[in-house]
Chain A
């Protein structure tokens, strides 16, 4: 059983946005793809996407678990219950979030999950930028039954769940005791969501995150330096493009030295390092 997993709620109606948030374009990919990718690599375990019945989803990374919310219109607690239930026996705790967090940073996810892992809390609830963030919080998967019962009782707000378990709340200062988070997301933009077209446009006009890229072996072309370079890129493919590299089947990328990927849509966050390697890595 993995220590951590993720749940991304994609089944909202997106009524104010006017189109499904999950499919919103994001630097050549989609908003849902980004959120799933960030949660997956921060959690290090399975990621569940909870969708509404009949809802089409954009392409997701291989291995993503998709479950259908059995009841419509019951709000986030229903999605939390469905997502946690899908992880029974697979993980100790899950970071649960909505789709529409375009600046969610892996360091935020790890900071929140670590509280549940290290202490006795059932839920780690950030109080970030002045508001409780139940859809950017960590929950023990064992809360699935309680959440399900509350939904059946029509007690649909996450606050009802918090009454039934041990909750540790983290304000901005507490969140930023993590030096990595404080350095890479000082304004806690991780919890900024986009609800209306104007929010989305504003988010989309922000520059891509600054990341560090390094090429290895024969990928370094004659005349190029091979040392690390800072570029702005929101995806692996964009990082490759920024240094004049074609990200094809002969190339792989290692994110921050551990996660290997050939998926050009894999999202990047501020402070990431991307190593590009020859796909034929043996010999």
Chain B
């Protein structure tokens, strides 16, 4: 066993039979996959039957911790939720931060994997006394936050809860799992948990975890803490990620009305900043959203950045606001009314659904309605009431709501016509708020990513916005940049450290190797971590291939390849199919894959998955 950071075992609970077992995690596996998203994909290879239906009892749902959890390192209280996605049929991994990560790991496990299907709506409890199921009928239909509060009252001190909302119970394919008001949002993990008849899982710490070199860890924690207060994280502290909205609008990167435009005329109304005509003394001069914020600012557990900005949305109602939920429920749907956008975001939280997929699917439906493909004349871009009604229909499970609950890919298959050409998803996962035509490194990252259209596993937009290359002219340099950011994300998501810290690292792989060495006692170097990153990225690809991935899945929606954008400067942003094909081919080559994106058998054998 390592000198620190791990317990060397995963707990596997079968909620059908109410039994559990511990599975040893060999040191070479831990060193090869680290934890979080990396260890999660290894577990999915081992414990997920090939071809399994994501909503079947046999499908595993893994809560995966990491070696840094429980240390004083800032932003390290994170865990990964990993499963086969009911939205994409491929791997999904969602990260989230809260005390749940610490309590979960300190049950004495590096991961808790749930399989089976409980006979009735249940609660899974894990602590030092073992694992047990309890009836959760009284929690049925509650929001995740309500269920969390109720269980903390019932269970008492020390328990931490992750729960699903009504959407997870009902199998909405983009349902979330929530804890402490945070959400493991993407890919429908809440539907997987709901399919197991689990309303919640509660964990309580029972032990401690050692670090190999406590002095070095403490020194690193102090150093990182100091750096986390600097200019690299100012944006997150002062305005939160919503600061992206106006900036992205200014550079034609804000997807609008289902990606029909890249700038939004209503962006100012949704800005985090005070109004542009603010008085010289800095007092807000009419910024509508800004006027609703500053109710509070909050941090995840063990975080010194504090990116959470809480907004008021009606009497006694608050909502955490981030760029992605405002993008998806605002510009993407053409809605500029901040009250409506924040109310929609709060409604998504109450339902327990991913705001990006919800907004993306509703935007697709709005376009369908405007083209006469869906009989819902009320569903129009820019109509606040229509946005809120669409969410209500998803909640109520009306025929339209049931269609939207399937996500845009499946729904376009049902609606037919040419609706698939403007269903903005990759592999079934709806697009985040980054315009691929004006961010062409990101275009590649979105196309080839294992999770689908995802901005967290591929942060290639960093390269596009760095100024080091022309973001409108994708080529080999963009491919190399996309690979670099994908590799960095693989390590950050496995250690796990928050991506908002990325700007404080000047030599990231070396610094991350130092952190991992101090915690585990391993002599890890940057070169080893780079190899680990590649292993994790490839293990995800191999999992998807096993589950039926096809080369055509590494692609972008037709609209992005056939409708150029004219920028205010007069330049035309065009991403042709041939350019995307060339970048994907180059990506495969640089990754050592064959021309169809598959690794050879020797390569797969070296991944240590069997």
A interface residues with partner B (beta carbon < 8 Å) = 2, 44, 62, 110, 214, 216-218, 220, 222-227, 248, 250, 252-254, 256-263, 275, 277-283
Task: Name the contact of B465 in the complex, choosing from A2, A44, A217, A260 (C-beta under 8 A).
Answer: A260
Task: For the complex, give the distance between the alpha carbons of A253 and B250 in Å.
Answer: 11
7 additional A-B residue pairs with CB within 8 Å, beyond A218-B243, A278-B243, A279-B232 = A216-B246, A225-B278, A253-B467, A257-B251, A258-B571, A281-B462, A282-B244
Given contacts A254-B250, A283-B322, A283-B323, contact A260 B239 (CB under 8 A): no
Instruction: Report the minimum CB–CB distance from A259 to chain B (whole Å).
Output: 8
Selected contact of A252 from candidates B281, B323, B465, CB within 8 Å: B465
Query: Which residues of chain B from 425 to 478 have any CB-CB distance to chain A below 8 Å in the complex?
Result: 438, 455, 459, 461-462, 464-468, 470-473
A residues within 8 A CB of B273?
Answer: 216-217, 220, 226
Which residues does chain B contribute within 8 Å of A214, judged by CB atoms?
A: 250
**Residues in chain B near residue A257, CB distance under 8 A:** 250-252, 567-569
Expressed in whole angstroms, the Cα–Cα distance for A280 and B465 within the complex equals 9
Contact pick for B247, options A227, A256, A281, CB 8 Å: A281
Which A residues are in CB contact (< 8 Å) with B464? 260
Q: Are A226 and B274 in contact (CB under 8 A)?
A: yes
Known: A217-B246, A254-B250. A281 touches B278 (CB 8 A): no
Task: Note all chain A residues with C-beta closer than 8 A to B282.
Answer: 222-224
Interface string of B237-265 (1 = CB under 8 A from A): 11101011011101110000000000000
User: Is B223 close to A, CB under 8 A?
Assistant: no
- Is there an interface contact between A275 and B250, defined as CB atoms closer than 8 Å? yes
Query: What CA separation (Å) do A252 and B231 show in the bound complex?
Result: 13
User: Does the CB pair A218–B241 fall under 8 Å?
Assistant: no
> When the two chains form their complex, are residues A258 and B569 in contact, meaning their CB atoms are under 8 A apart?
yes
Binds A, one of B107-115, B116-124, B206-214, B496-504: B496-504
The residue from A223, A258, A279, A283 contacting B241, defined by CB atoms under 8 A apart: A283
| Contact present for A280 and B235 (CB under 8 Å) | yes
Contact A218 B277 (CB under 8 A): no
Flag if B251 contacts A254 (CB, 8 Å): yes
Q: Could you tell me the distance between the alpha carbons of A278 and B467 in the complex, rounded to whole angstroms?
A: 12
- B-side contacts of A261, CB under 8 Å: 467
B250 close to A218 (CB less than 8 A): no
The docked-state distance in angstroms from the alpha carbon of A256 to that of B465 is 14
B503 and A280: CB pair below 8 A? yes
B231 touches A225 (CB 8 A): no
Q: Pick from A2, A223, A260, A262 the residue with the most CB of B within 10 Å.
A: A260
B512 proximal to A (CB < 8 A): no
Once bound together, how far apart are the Cα atoms of A225 and B281, in whole Å?
A: 9
B280 within 8 A of A: yes
The residues in B between 216 and 248 inclusive whose CB is less than 8 angstroms from any CB of A are: 231-239, 241, 243-244, 246-248
Which chain A residues lie closer than 8 Å to B17 at the CB level?
Answer: none
Q: Is the CB–CB distance between A278 and B247 below 8 Å? A: yes
CB <8 Å contact, A262 and B571? no
For the complex formed, measure the closest distance between the CB of A109 and the CB atoms of chain B, giving whole angstroms: 12
The interface residues of chain B, by DSSP majority, are classed as loop
> Is B590's CB within 8 Å of the partner chain A?
no
A26 to B241, CA, bound (A): 38
Enumerate chain B residues within 8 angstroms of A259, measured Cβ to Cβ: 470
Residues of A within 8 A of B500 (CB): 280, 283
When C-beta atoms are compared, the residue in chain A nearest to B240 turns out to be A283
Can you list 21 A-B contacts (CB < 8 A)?
A216-B243, A216-B273, A218-B234, A220-B273, A223-B281, A225-B280, A226-B273, A252-B467, A257-B250, A257-B251, A260-B471, A262-B467, A275-B247, A275-B251, A277-B247, A279-B503, A280-B236, A280-B500, A282-B462, A283-B236, A283-B500
Q: Which residues in A have their C-beta under 8 angstroms from that of B570?
A: 110
Q: Is B276 an interface residue (CB 8 A)?
A: yes
Cβ–Cβ contact B568 & A256, under 8 A:
yes
Question: Complex formed: what's the CA distance from A152 to B488 in Å?
Answer: 54
The answer to whether residues A283 and B232 also contact, given A225-B276, A250-B503, A262-B467 and a CB cut-off of 8 A, is no
- In the complex the two chains form, what is the Cα distance from A44 to B244 in whole Å? 26
CB A96 to nearest CB in B, in angstroms, measures 21
Task: List, in ascending order, chain B residues with CB within 8 A of A258's CB.
Answer: 251-252, 438, 472, 567, 569, 571
Pick the 4 closest A-B CB pairs, nearest first.
A283-B241, A217-B243, A227-B276, A256-B569
Q: B461 touching A281 by the CB < 8 A rule?
A: yes
Residues of A within 8 A of B472 (CB): 44, 258
* Bound Cα distance A251, B244 (Å): 14
Expressed in whole angstroms, the Cα–Cα distance for A281 and B502 within the complex equals 11
Q: Within 8 Å CB of A224, what residues of B?
A: 282
* Chain B residues closer than 8 Å to A225, beta-carbon distance: 276-278, 280
Task: Specify which chain A residues have a CB less than 8 angstroms from the CB of B232 in the assembled complex.
Answer: 250, 279-280
**B-chain residues with CB within 8 Å of residue A262 when the two chains form the complex:** 466-468
B568→A278 contact, CB < 8 A? no
State which residues 272-304 of B face A: CB under 8 Å. Answer: 272-274, 276-278, 280-282
What distance in Å separates the Cβ of B58 from its nearest Cβ neighbour in chain A?
36
A217 touches B247 (CB 8 A): yes
Q: Which of B170-198 contact A (CB under 8 A)?
A: none
Closest A residue by C-beta to B434: A282
What is the CB-to-nearest-CB distance from B248 to chain A, in angstroms, rounded to a whole number?
A: 8
B323 to chain A, nearest CB (A): 6
Find the A residue at minimum CB distance from B285: A225
